[in-house]
Amino acid sequence: MKYQLSSDGPFALVKLHLAKNEEIKIEKGSMVYHNGNVTLEGKINSNNKNTSVLGNMLKSVAKSVVSGESFFVTIVKSFTDDGEINIAPPAIGTIKELEIGPLQWFLNDGVFLACDKTVEYSMKRQSMGKAVFGGTGGLFVMETSGVGSMIISSYGEIEEIELDGSNKFIVDNRHVLAWETSLDYEIKVASGIFGFSTGEGLVNEFKGKGKILIQTRNIASFASFLASCGSHNQGMTFI
């Protein structure tokens, strides 16, 4: 999968270049424009080949309800050697390529943007404790498989942390973007009475060796900030 970014800023487009008959997958609704030399087809995101199409759809819909992740993915195929499609993530932030195969990853919902045809992702059910307390991912997190490239996006910048297994590592649940499947993790209440007296809320506790990708901002905090600004402005008269 060949691509380039339209700029170095937080509003960049991902310009994907396809050879003849090459296929890639992109997140549903992420297309901005293409050059007319590609076709787009919606597919159900399911890796279960032993059930019917209806069965796959019902299972995918059920998972999408509890995970927040779309159960459709768009297949892009080029019929010339100069196919091009430009896509954009929903949030303002950073775009990063992951090499799938040597490493496999868990991803929180809203992270996936595009991947090679040879890369798959499926929804992995979390334990009930993680499902109840999870601020992102709900009952499911995304797990990659296959070999190839995947493009992900964040809200804000991306910081990469590599753990050597000597200590546990704590990250605010809303800032966790992706982590290697080699790591063990648990979602916990941060601290204090009912876990929220410090204002930190829920955290992910990681153990073992592997990489964690952290986004420097989170949508929930930004939404709360906007809501507080709106409430403070109520009743004010501007001239």
Task: Identify the band that residue 127 occupies on the pLDDT scale cut at 50, 70 and 90.
Answer: low
Q: Identify whether 159 is part of a domain.
A: yes
- Please state, in angstroms and rounded to a whole number, the distance separating the CA atoms of residues 74 and 104: 22
The answer to whether 142 and 108 are in contact (CB under 8 A) is: yes
Q: Identify whether 197 is part of a domain.
A: yes
Range of the domain at 112: 2-221
Q: What is the DSSP track for 34-45?
A: E-SSEEEEEEE-
Cβ count within 10 A of residue 91: 18
Q: Identify whether 227 is part of a domain.
A: no
The answer to whether 41 and 178 are in contact (CB under 8 A) is: no
Q: Identify whether 233 is part of a domain.
A: no
Q: Identify whether 105 is part of a domain.
A: yes
Quickly tell me which residue has 């546990």 as its tokens: 168
Q: Two tokens at 12?
A: 């960049």
* Segment of 58-62, 126-130, 169-173 carrying the highest mean pLDDT: 169-173
130 pLDDT above the threshold of 80: no
Split into its structural domains, the chain has a count of 1
Q: Two tokens at 122?
A: 């499926």
Q: Identify whether 239 is part of a domain.
A: no
207 pLDDT above the threshold of 90: yes
215 pLDDT above the threshold of 50: yes
Task: Identify the band that residue 123 occupies on the pLDDT scale cut at 50, 70 and 90.
Answer: confident
pLDDT tens profile 1-18: 999 999 999 999 999 999
Q: Identify whether 76 is part of a domain.
A: yes
CATH number at residue 106: 3.60.160.10
* Segment of 122-131, 142-151, 193-202 carrying the highest mean pLDDT: 142-151
Bridge partners, residue 206, by sequence: 169, 185
- Mention every residue, 6+ apart, whose C-beta is less than 8 A from residue 112: 27, 69, 121, 142, 150, 152
- Please state, in angstroms and rounded to a whole number, the distance separating the CA atoms of residues 211 and 64: 26
The C-alpha angle with vertex 100 and arms to 5 and 109, in degrees rounded to 5, equals: 75
120-145: b or e for each residue (b if 16 or more CB lie within 10 Å)?
A: bbebeebeeebbebbbbbbbbbbbbe
Q: Two tokens at 131?
A: 């499902």
pTM: 0.79
Q: Identify whether 229 is part of a domain.
A: no
HSE-up (13 A, CA, CB side) for residue 44: 17
Q: What is the DSSP track for 149-160?
A: EEEEE-SB-EEE
